[in-house]
Chain A
Amino acid sequence: MTSTLKETVPPMAKWKALDIWCAVAGAASLALAAWSASTVTLPINSDLGLIGVLPYPFWAAVLILNVTFVVALRGDAAGPARSPVMVWLVAVQVLVLFGTAVFVTDVPRGEVAFRHLGIADALSQNVAVDPNIDAYFNWPGFFALVATVLKASGLDPVTVALWAPVFNVALWLLAVAVVTRYLTKDPRRRWLVLWLFCLGNWQDQDYLSPQAFGFFLYLVVIALILGPLAARTPQFSGFRRANLAAWWRGRTPADSRPGHRVSALAITLLLIVVISASHQLTPFMVLIALTALTMAGRVWPGRLVLIAGVVLVLWLAYPASTYLAGHPPLADAGLQTAIESNVVDRTNGTAGHVLVVQIRMALTLLLWTLAAIGMIRDWRRGHLDIRVLLLAVTPLLLFPAQSYGGEMLIRISLFALPFVALQACSVLLPAEGMGTRIKRPSLLAAGAFVLTFFLLAAMTVTGRFGNAQYDVFTNNEIDAVNRVDRLAPDGAAIISAAHPTPWRNQDYLGHRYRTIEDLCPSDLSAGTCGPLIYGYARHNVAGGYLLLLRSSESSLVVQGQTTTQGFDELENWLSDQDGVNLVFSNSDARVYRVGP
């Protein structure tokens, strides 16, 4: 198949002392990070999240790791350290940044991974797809995969969810590595892209989820389009109709072997179908990227974009039609709505929480600014790669189309990240001209790299684990959830204080799950909200269970929806009502039964 761009530096033949020292330093930093993170005690009581409680040795480990990477990247006159050493350092980076929570707790973070396990379980129990249940059952591909893997492997679902971030980021990095091989020939840049991809990946979308799976397949599609399915364009001679037609007809396939292109096309079509069946947003990202690259003349099969569009429309028109009938895709379109839900609504809460949100934005802006400077620099020197630019910028087109529950900007920044990282390399590791070999970074530049990478790592840990006060659960909280699952009869309402709650992984369809913040969206005061919750539980035929966890109370307080005192008043009001009895409690949770 199409060969990747050949490295300008031949691989080193023998292991050098530098390689061995770098490998050992990487191992030492991993051991130090794992040990220091394991000393953190739960629950986490800082509105800054994990960064507020991680001990100094963890940061020493992060510093050692970044110094080691820069030393390895700098290497010697022949190039960076050997590939196995660089792979090892990237693997350590993945474990340190994305496995930190695994060293702290044996319970997966957040609510959604639990919910996704419940959906996979519900599918395997029912052996059918009922699209009327909810949106997930209109895009069941990923859940079908999880159901099969869990049942066949016998693995503990919670353990799978716990390690999913490490597994997913490893998959993404493999795909980014292949994509990068088609876009730059410099080995230092290739390794630096992977490092920056990790350092800028605060979005926390790598848990057990269809979007993590979809993003992996998206990157594979991009790799195939940039590789075996790529086209070379002739000199562009203007926008006149005849010139455009001549330009389009003058394209040639980058891979001259038809059989190779056909097999790559078949794989791409399979991936597009699977992406369309698995996630709502990712097919649109694929379509946008394909359209942009096709219009730039960089995709050889010109009709691939039409086929992708037809697959997407067919999926929306048939398997997903039940959901779309009640949820038009452009219902909440508009730039102002998008800004309000993606930016304004997220900057509420305690001072620490607002700081975390600001650091997430600052990290994204910092990387995008570096990429923009790199782009201008490349353009002025005449070697701007239009493919990188298009792949970095086009995800932004979806921003005004859908607020996506206030998460569109997060998703856009993730899809753009590999190409933003690559474009940022034009600033960090500049080349003087097209095809010019990139010089070994000076000692001064290496020092600046260490400072920059350490700063980015601190920002990423802050951003990723900034909600740890309410999305890292204790065993007591899990005990309470399990107890409710056992106590509540079929059809009973289970009411938690707020998202995230680690529930729905065992009996997804058996109960009616609600949160206090859903039932009382505007006012959580005891006088207003109390009667609404009580009435909802009381009027449910099978009764209701009120599940009050430390984490969900923290979620409401940290995000500024109530105060500790206000929440206590609400709980006291509810516990004083007729038919409300405390049926379970421990230091992190209370469960009340509300009789019908």
Chain B
Amino acid sequence: MNWRGVSRPTLALAIAAAVLSLAVLVGLPAPLQALSAAAVLVLLPGQAMTRLTPVTDLALVALLVLALGLATLTAVSTAMFYLTVWSWQACVVTMGVITIVACLARARQEAAA
């Protein structure tokens, strides 16, 4: 894969997911913890998955980022509860991995283009 063809937003999204996931797991002061958790659990995975779809309408993009982020987190959390393996830390790690995997898939698209 030609990594030079990968866009900066894709790289930034993947790096942000990795760094913020670690930060949330380690713990941050009160308002930062909430903001970072919202980013890692909902916004970054939502954005990464939305970027896999060729959506161009900004309003629809904003809607899909929120809907995909919330729906994926719900699916992941519910599955973990049914499998009795839930912990919020496991959810943070899983959502971080989903974001990075989505970024890799996007990177492949960009490199191939």
Contact = CB atoms under 8 A, between A and B. Distances in A.
A141 B63 contact: no
B24 A223 contact: no
Most chain B CB inside 10 Å of its own CB: which residue of A129, A141, A149, A263: A149
A interface, over-half SS: helix
Interface string A210-237: 0001001100100100010000000000
Nearest to B24: A152
Interface in A216-274: 216-217, 220, 223, 227, 257, 259-260, 263-264, 267, 270-271, 273-274
Contacts of B26: none
Nearest to A4: B57
Given A1-B54, A260-B53, A227 B68 contact: no
Contact of A149 (B37, B62, B64): B37
B1 interface: no
Contact of A153 (B33, B64, B77): B33
A174 B60 contact: no
Contacts of B56: 1, 3
A23 interface: no
Contacts of B59: 4, 174, 177-178, 181
A140 interface: yes
B113 interface: no
Contact of B67 (A142, A145, A217): A217
Interface in A120-156: 123-124, 127-129, 140-142, 144-145, 147-149, 151-155
B88 A148 contact: yes
B interface, over-half SS: helix
B53 A270 contact: no
Given A1-B60, A270-B71, A152 B81 contact: no
A392 interface: no
B41 A148 contact: yes
Contact of B54 (A140, A175, A260, A267): A260
Interface in B10-64: 24, 30, 33-34, 37-38, 40-41, 52-57, 59-60, 62-64
Interface residues of A, number: 46
Contact of A142 (B33, B57, B74): B74
Contacts of B85: 127
Given A174-B66, A175-B63, A267-B64, A140 B57 contact: no
Contacts of A140: 78, 81
A267 B86 CA distance: 24
A145 B86 contact: no
A216 B75 CA distance: 16
B87 interface: yes
Contacts of B72: 270
Contact of A274 (B40, B55, B71, B86): B71
Contact of B37 (A153, A171, A227, A260): A153
B68 A127 contact: no
A56 to B, nearest CB: 36
A128 B84 contact: yes
B73 interface: yes
Interface string A1-26: 10110000000000000000000000
Contacts of A124: 86, 88
Contacts of B88: 124, 147-148, 151-152
Given A178-B59, A271-B67, A145 B81 contact: no
B100 interface: no
A181 B34 CA distance: 33
B57 to A, nearest CB: 6
Given A148-B73, A220-B67, A267 B53 contact: yes
B78 A152 contact: no
B74 A141 contact: yes
B60 A178 contact: yes
B70 interface: yes
A319 B78 CA distance: 11
Contacts of A181: 57, 59
A171 B67 CA distance: 9
Contacts of A257: 54
B88 to A, nearest CB: 4
Nearest to A216: B67
Contacts of B3: none
Contacts of A267: 53, 64, 67-68
Contacts of B70: 145, 213, 216-217
A274 B91 contact: no
A274 B54 contact: no
A257 B54 CA distance: 10
Nearest to A259: B54
Nearest to B27: A154
Contacts of A174: 59, 62-63, 66
A3 B73 CA distance: 28
B92 interface: yes
A468 interface: no
Contacts of B66: 171, 174
B74 A274 contact: yes
B81 A149 contact: no
A216 B66 CA distance: 10
A278 interface: yes
B77 A147 contact: yes
Contact of B81 (A1, A129, A260): A129
Contacts of B33: 153-154
B80 to A, nearest CB: 8
A277 interface: yes
A220 B74 contact: no
A151 B75 CA distance: 17
9 contacts: A1-B57, A141-B77, A144-B74, A145-B70, A148-B86, A152-B92, A174-B63, A213-B70, A259-B54
Given A148-B88, A174-B63, A178-B60, 18 more contacts: A1-B57, A1-B60, A3-B57, A144-B80, A144-B86, A145-B73, A145-B78, A152-B92, A154-B34, A154-B37, A216-B67, A216-B70, A217-B71, A220-B64, A227-B60, A267-B53, A267-B68, A270-B71
Interface of B: 24, 30, 33-34, 37-38, 40-41, 52-57, 59-60, 62-64, 66-68, 70-75, 77-78, 80-82, 84-88, 91-92
A-B complex: 6 closest residue pairs judged by Cβ atoms: A144-B77, A151-B88, A263-B53, A153-B37, A153-B34, A152-B37
